[in-house]
Structure 1
Amino acid sequence: MNVFKRKLFECECRSYVFLGLLLLALLNCGIVLGATRNVVLLVEPPAVRRQQHVTLKCTYDLKNAPLYSVKFYRGSLEFYRFSPGELPHGKVFPFPGINVDLSLSNASQVVIRNVGFGLTGNFSCEVTADAPYFSTATAYAYMQVVEYPEKRPMLFTEQNRYEPGDVLRANCSTLPSRPKAELKFTINNIVVNTQETQYIPTKDNLFASRLSLKLQLQAIHFQTGVAMSHLSNSIYASDSRASGGALVLRCTAQIGNLYQEYREIELGVPQRDPVPARVTHSSAESLQNFVFKIFSSSSSPARFSSLESRLMTISLTTALIGAFHWLQSHTR
């Protein structure tokens, strides 16, 4: 009889163990079916300017489960938590450079004010459902802190207008930024190869960019509508048609896909100064005859009939003829 009871007890134990395992399996299935889903972290804006504010939005689907907590991390360190079951609901954990605006932060977002370059990096939000599931899911996002140049690029050339054969020298620069701004020159929308952009660091961890250009211009540079390619700081064309078009020099500053600005100058063939008419010998002779005619005219006053007046006339005529000969020699 004791043996029978022992065997019955062992069977009951096995049954309880089996039921326990079955309940655990069902509970695990319930956890999977009720798990937190579709967790997404958005950084708005993804590239935030220094000393501005940024919003980290955490969206999720708990289905019918209540929310236990939402935690925000910078790297592996938690800096903000929202727990509906606690008072206050929002809690801030000290983190260097992170200034949380509690009035705008809640179960779906956290607002950080006055961001600095040190916050560039990975952020995450961790969402946990309350009982009976206690499921957790995490989403990640990258935030970049930037500073754009305050103005468009500055572009300078030695001359205002150029013609074929001239050497074009130009300088382009930008105000400090972070990340660094890449610069490039184009002539009539065709890229001109130059040296690499120079970067000048500033005391506030920014970089000013500068690029120089030295290029001997050819007739092909002033043509438009020509198929061109760029090689070794020169531009070559497969078509020699000349259209007499202007030369447009442009400098473009670009920071990845975040920022792009340009400045351009329209250059062209200069207008040559008109050449004065040449003074010929016959013109000098005519002047001489004209002066003598004036001073020898019968209508001239009597004071010019004296020897002194005639000498004055000869001297003046000689000086004028000499001046015309000098002008003739310098205008040829």
Structure 2
Amino acid sequence: MPDAVQKGAKVRLVCKYDLEGEVLYTLKWYKEETEFLKYTPREIPSIKFFPMKSYPDLEIIKEETFGDQVTIKKALVSIGGHYACQVTTDMPSFHEASGRGVLRVVVLPEDLPSIKGYKPKIKEGEWANVTCISSKSTPAANLTWSINNKPVCEYIFYLSD
């Protein structure tokens, strides 16, 4: 599972497993608790896709999906969340194991940050009240201040009588 993907990107999820000499019976993929794909190598067809009524934006590229690999056509914020694969071995043991991951879809700001209240010249010791604004992003952009490439610490003093 990638740590994060940019909105609009193609996403590949991979289920890595070791059967320790046993035979694969089935491999299932889940979004949250909803199964959306079942791979059973001994059946025809071996891959079955299930409709995702709760996640209509989750579009799988069937030609690029091979049981242990799922390719999502387009990362949207609405398809972010928990994904899991569950592997079951064949008889007689029918051992089961699963792995989970979180898909984070990030939306970068469309514009550069802007500064409001900026004065071209400020004397040493003079107060300045400036605001830095970023366009929308997911997660929210982390803005930091620096003057001459040195970090600025903000101190606010409240005076009382």
Residue in 1 that maps onto 2:37: 80
Distance 2:17 2:127 in 1: 62
Residue in 1 that maps onto 2:70: 110
Residue in 1 that maps onto 2:27: 70
1:155 aligns with 2:111: no
Distance 1:119 1:102 in 2: 17
1:119 aligns with 2:79: yes
**Could you say what secondary structure the match of 1:61 adopts?**
coil
Q: Give the 4+ runs in structure 1 shifted more than 4 A.
A: none
Residue in 2 that maps onto 1:192: 153
TM-score, length-scaled by structure 1: 0.42
**Could you say what secondary structure the match of 1:100 adopts?**
coil
Cα deviations by residue, 1:238-279 (Å, 9 ceiling, x for unpaired): xxxxxxxxxxxxxxxxxxxxxxxxxxxxxxxxxxxxxxxxxx
Distance 1:75 1:139 in 2: 12
Tell me which structure has the larger Cα radius of gyration. 1
Cα deviations by residue, 1:150-197 (Å, 9 ceiling, x for unpaired): 34323355432332254434332212111222333233523332xxxx
Q: What's the CA shift for 1:93? A: 0.6
Distance 1:165 1:131 in 2: 78
Q: What's the CA shift for 1:94? A: 0.9
Alignment of 1:258-277 (within 5 A): none
Higher-RCO chain (CA-CA 8 Å, sequence separation at least 6): 2
**Could you say what secondary structure the match of 2:16 adopts?**
strand
Q: Flag structure 2 segments of 5+ consecutive residues without an equivalent.
A: none
AA in 2 matched with 1:115? A
Distance 1:125 1:141 in 2: 9
**Could you say what secondary structure the match of 2:13 adopts?**
strand
Q: Flag structure 1 segments of 5+ consecutive residues without an equivalent.
A: 1-42, 194-230, 234-332
1:176 aligns with 2:136: yes
Match of 2:15 among 58, 83, 87: 58
AA in 2 matched with 1:94? P
The root-mean-square deviation of aligned C-alpha atoms, in Å, is: 2.1
Alignment of 1:198-277 (within 5 A): 231-232=155-156
Distance 1:131 1:164 in 2: 79
Give the conservation status (yes or no) of the 8 Å contact 1:150–1:175: yes
Moved more, 82-91 or 69-78: 82-91
Cα deviations by residue, 1:15-71 (Å, 9 ceiling, x for unpaired): xxxxxxxxxxxxxxxxxxxxxxxxxxxx12x21222322111100011222211110
